[in-house]
Chains A and B, each alone.
Chain A
Amino acid sequence: MIHFVLLISRQGKVRLTKWYSPYSQKERTKVIRELSGLILTRGPKLCNFVEWRGYKVVYKRYASLYFCMCVDQDDNELEILEIIHHYVEILDRYFGSVCELDLIFNFHKVFSLNLLENMEVSLYNIYKDKDIP
């Protein structure tokens, strides 16, 4: 299962988070700091998976933004990687060539898309549905 989703900028700024397991605010800050340290320092030609505290973090960089998802050890990594990509494709279609600023100033719209809520399912059908405001 997906434990949380993080969108972090290259400078380590948090752009969007979504937590599916209960973490206290303190733990969240710690997690974000730890993962930024791990992921932002990785070179471009390395694999998209990082092992962290018994979990796996699947991440992908789009322009200056890192999309990270924390999943269980035995989850299918490539599947998660394509969920990320799929998500980005939908954001792209929604905002029309999405950029980091879109996500910063419209974070409430991203949440309202309710896409993150259904990460585990194929996203196409949600996009078609009318719960997009």
Chain B
Amino acid sequence: MALSGMRGLSVFISDIRNCPNKEQERLRVDKELGNVRTRFKNEKGLTPYEKKKYVWKMLYIYMLGYDVDFGHMEAVSLISAPKYPEKQVGYIVTSCLLNENHDFLRLAINTVRNDIIGRNETFQCLALTMVGNIGGREFAESLAPDVQKLLLSSSCRPLVRKKAALCLLRLYRKNPDVVNVDGWSDRMAQLLDERDLGVLTSSMSLLVALVSNNHDTYWSCLPKCVKILERLARNQDVPQEYTYYGIPSPWLQVKTMRALQYFPTIEDPNTRRSLFEVLQRILMGTDVVKNVNKNNASHAVLFEALALVMHLDAEKEMMSQCVALLGKFIAVREPNIRYLGLENMTRMLMVTDVQDIIKRHQAQIITSLKDPDISIRRRALDLLYGMCDVSNAKDIVEELLQYLSTADFAMREELSLKAAILAEKFAPDLSWYVDVILQLIDKAGDFVSDDIWFRVVQFVTNNEDLQPYAAAKARDYLDKPALHETMVKVSAYLLGEYSHLLARRPGCSPKEIFSILHEKLPTVSTSTIPILLSTYAKVLMHTQPPDPELQNQIWAIFNKYESCIDVEIQQRAVEYFALSRKGAALMDILAEMPKFPERQSALIKKAEDTEVDTAEQSAIKWRAQQQTSNALVVTDQCPANGTPPVGQQLGLVKVPSMSSNVDHNSEDQGSAHLNGTLSTVDPQPPSPDLLGDLLGPLAIEGPPVASVHSEQNIIPGLEGVSNTVDAAAIVPVEEQNNSVQPIGNIAERFHALCFKDSGVLYEDPYIQIGIKAEWRAHHGRLVLFLGNKNTSPLVSVQVVILPPSHLKIELSLVPETIPPRAQVQCPLEFVNLRPSRDVAVLDFSYKFGTNAVNVKLRLPAVLNKFLQPIPVSAEEFFPQWRSLSGPPLKLQEVVRGVRPLSLLEMANLFNSFRLMVCPGLDPNPNNLVASTTFYSESTRAMLCLVRIETDPADRTQLRMTVASGDPALTFELKEFIKEQLISIPTASRAPAPAQTPVQPTSPPTALTDPGAMLAGLL
């Protein structure tokens, strides 16, 4: 052992250990640093041994957490030492002391490179290890080619190549350019043929990083990964040293399955079958054993297999096997397995169709919410959050509330935020929602952000039925002895607005309301006082006939705060005082707040921003996509950064005192609905009947107010309504029927969906239509997800399918009403009868309030969905190509005006619509040959062959030849490909009204020259 006798180092370490306190330790360290520094100064006297010793000491000090700002030079210089012991220390210490951002590394680059390209394997290893630990851009740029060479070299020992692979991985992470994509896919595939499991494991790590960035390029690696898995699963050719507790290299198994998860799908049926065999074996064959390590290793593999099965969206049977396994796991005693069971179940939620099975485990999951381990509780919370929907929201939210009282502080904020979001999203009725939020404020007021109570106010304001209930609830809470300040705010606000609705109940007279609220005033902070003042003003206004005693009390309070140091409070006190002497006008000014425009919940937005857990984040995103609007913010109100209800109230009363509303607009631009009310507040004394409208008992209901608006709207030039767009949300205007604007470009969405199987088809402020489709041969199943984004139901929902003649489409029943914030699924079954490019149209209509919306949407059940890519070998291709000798089975056309695409891009395009490009069949590198199978009832499975001859000099033209055993198919496919090549899919079509491509009636201008057609191939 070269290093054993380093006495000075041992002495130093025991000195440090003997230090009684941190102070002493620091003194000892400082002394040693001084010592090392002086020794380094006159370097000439240092023996290599001493140099090594001091560098180790530096590293030790550094590891203890002290800054070491010298000696880097000495460490780096050891790297260039000729002998192993010094060199090794130099490499190790450098890789610990320096990171990729240090300038000193530049000094070492040359030496490191010499070691890498040198002949000494040990030096190569040291150099590769250090580079692999530090990484960094500069190393990447100057060393990557040499490292690549080592990895691919067949003369290197596995040890070196292994390290080279890891080193390259590290360099790639920092700088993806180091791997030249074109050449690498083949080399990577070659590396996977490696027999040595060490090299293979390292290469697999590299592959995982590569495919995570770009799976297209590496598709040739896919079957090889499956082969490797098969080799490991069968335990073939696995040396003893790679067997860990009887399991053939669990690490390689995990990595390989990880790599497979980056490929979107597995097309080749054989590969898919073999993979599923392996997965099935893992799922069924993993038993719980006594040995902890064996258990962990086998379950590491099992959980990775579960993830892969989920990713591949396997057959239903296998999926339910997975859910069953997870159900077992979340009930076991072993905490690691339980944790992972919960975590993976949350991931599983993203797969459709299994939610119901997961719901069966709800009770068990709730038990985990009370687990002593916070890691497990967190997972349980996430899972409950993810699995919550309309059907179980009540149970789950109530569990969360119950748990809130006992939960530890680290979790309370998250817990209350989640409970609030779930309550909002899935409330079966709104009074329940109000209950939940008030309980939430009561139990965990400190963790309830302003957003949460703002949202309650919005809901209550917008729903008349809810107002008396909410006011009564708020009143009940005020009887509690200790009240959180947030509760004071929300009750004050609600009672100010709606306490008059409770007037006949015991304890709810204006006087009583005032006195119980006023009791709280001494306990609250300055942010709450303004709200209380507004409430007093409102209570005063609602007291009919006026009660002089109450009036005097309240005036006294206003008087008191007129000299308050807080500007907001002072201003309110002054203004309310002045206003309350105006008698009748007060009623008008302090009239009830108008409805808020529909908008995205600030909470959900916040949740999206703050969540960090990836699985969880995607679950939220997924749900948000399905159910809430994220693009729609009707008005740019700002509940997040202030106290808007307060500000708006203020605005309301400010106007008349200035007898002009001009500058009001400039001050309160953010508060949209203000304008609505403003328009009724005329600078001139309002006409009595208008007032009557507002003051009568009906004034609190939407329609009369609205009718005032529409009356006013027709008066031109009225300042208050200048902002009609904002007002639109509360003004029912019939002529706005078509004003519902879709979000996003409908045509673009359609085109995107032509190439993938799930996504959003249509979205507007009220509804989102998502689809998820599966295509098997000539059958297809497409599920429409109709998601209501509002807090009120969508009615008169109608879905009519206008099928083209070649498709048989069955639509299941669609409910007429979509409840608030709910999502309805409508499955559609497709049968493709014969080839055609016609498109099915979905005629969709619904009503929201007085808006009737009707849209016609093209359904992405297009020709290429019935294609199945199939690789063809030269032996199969040529006889087939020759036998289809000319029109109408084989058609050729010169296409001009093609979008210029490189061959690679074109190949990608073809692959994207399921034509499989067969490289190597055509000797001319400028040509492209592709094959696919088309399925329809009339043609059955039919092989289609395509050949594209491009002109490298002019990329805008090409010659295309399409052949199949069916004339209609040949023609349709040719036209289809042509459309894809010429049109730029995104900008091509007008939006809503579906323009089904008109079937050309004239026969194709086929170019038939069989000789030329085959010339290139033969």
Contacts and interface: CB of A to CB of B under 8 A. Distances in A.
Interface of A: 1, 14, 16-20, 22-23, 25, 28-29, 32, 42-43, 45-51, 53-54, 73-74, 76-79, 81-83, 85-86, 104-105, 107-109, 111-112, 114, 117-118, 120-122, 124-125, 128-131, 133
A118 B296 CA distance: 21
Contact of A131 (B1, B122, B241, B293): B122
A50 B297 CA distance: 19
A47 B242 contact: no
B340 A117 contact: no
B365 to A, nearest CB: 16
Contacts of B67: 25
A125 B165 CA distance: 15
B244 interface: yes
A50 B378 CA distance: 10
A131 to B, nearest CB: 6
B424 to A, nearest CB: 26
A74 B338 CA distance: 17
Nearest to A24: B99
18 contacts: A25-B67, A46-B375, A47-B339, A54-B612, A73-B613, A76-B254, A77-B339, A78-B299, A78-B300, A79-B300, A82-B293, A82-B296, A104-B13, A114-B125, A117-B95, A118-B166, A121-B166, A122-B201
Nearest to B165: A121
Contacts of B340: 77-78
B9 interface: yes
Interface string B55-75: 010011011111100000000
Chain B contact residues, majority secondary structure: helix
A79 B613 contact: no
Please name the 9 residue pairs, one residue from A and one from B, whose CB atoms are nearest each other, closest first: A78-B300, A47-B335, A22-B99, A54-B612, A46-B373, A79-B300, A125-B198, A47-B339, A117-B129
B163 interface: yes
B138 interface: no
Nearest to A56: B375
Interface string B1-36: 111101001100110010000000000000000000
Given A45-B335, A45-B372, 5 more contacts: A47-B336, A109-B3, A112-B89, A118-B163, A122-B252
B122 A14 contact: no
B100 A22 contact: yes
B249 A122 contact: yes
B202 A78 contact: no
A117 to B, nearest CB: 5
Contacts of A105: 10, 13-14
B100 A124 contact: no
Contact of A121 (B201, B293, B336): B201
Nearest to B295: A78
Given A14-B64, A125-B198, A43 B372 contact: yes
B17 A104 contact: yes
Given A77-B336, A81-B296, A133-B3, A14 B242 contact: no
B986 interface: no
Contacts of B300: 76-79, 81-82
Contacts of B198: 121-122, 125
B126 to A, nearest CB: 8
B56 A47 contact: no
B976 interface: no
Contacts of A43: 372
B296 A78 contact: yes
A22 B571 CA distance: 53
B6 A108 contact: yes
Interface string B726-768: 0000000000000000000000000000000000000000000
B96 interface: yes
Contacts of B60: 107-108
A26 B613 CA distance: 26
A47 B338 contact: yes
A111 B92 contact: yes
A28 B63 CA distance: 10
B173 A125 contact: no
Interface in B161-189: 162-163, 166, 173
B88 interface: yes
A94 B898 CA distance: 67
Nearest to A32: B65
B562 interface: no
A10 B65 CA distance: 18
Contact of A18 (B10, B96, B336): B96
Given A32-B65, A117-B133, A122-B201, A108 B339 contact: no
B407 to A, nearest CB: 16
A87 B376 CA distance: 26
A29 B158 CA distance: 38
A109 B3 CA distance: 7
B287 to A, nearest CB: 15
A120 B166 contact: yes
Contact of A122 (B101, B197, B339): B197
A78 B303 contact: yes
Contacts of B612: 53-54, 73
A118 B166 CA distance: 8
B132 interface: yes
B129 A118 contact: yes
Nearest to A89: B293
Nearest to B66: A25
Contacts of B95: 117
A82 B250 contact: yes
Contact of B242 (A45, A112, A124): A124
Nearest to A127: B241
Nearest to B128: A117
A20 B133 contact: yes
B336 A49 contact: yes
Contacts of B166: 118, 120-121
B159 interface: yes
A111 B96 contact: yes
Given A49-B336, A122-B251, A133 B65 contact: no
A86 B241 CA distance: 12
A121 B251 contact: yes
A16 B63 contact: yes
Interface in B578-636: 612-615
Nearest to B17: A104
A44 to B, nearest CB: 10
A45 B125 CA distance: 41
A105 B9 CA distance: 8
B542 interface: no
Given A114-B129, A122-B201, A74 B614 contact: yes
Contacts of B500: none
A95 B112 CA distance: 31
Nearest to A47: B335
Give the residue among A77, A105, A121, A125 with the most B Cβ atoms within 10 A. Answer: A121
B258 interface: yes
Given A46-B373, A104-B17, A111-B96, A125 B132 contact: no
Contacts of A120: 166, 202, 205
Contacts of B13: 104-105, 107
Contact of A112 (B64, B92, B163, B244): B92
B304 interface: yes
A116 to B, nearest CB: 9
Nearest to A83: B251
A125 B10 contact: no
A28 B65 contact: yes
Contacts of A118: 129, 162-163, 166
A111 to B, nearest CB: 5
Contacts of B126: 131
A45 B339 CA distance: 13
A48 B17 CA distance: 29
A64 B398 CA distance: 42
Nearest to A129: B159
A95 B270 CA distance: 49
Interface string B357-399: 0000000000000001101101000000000000000000000
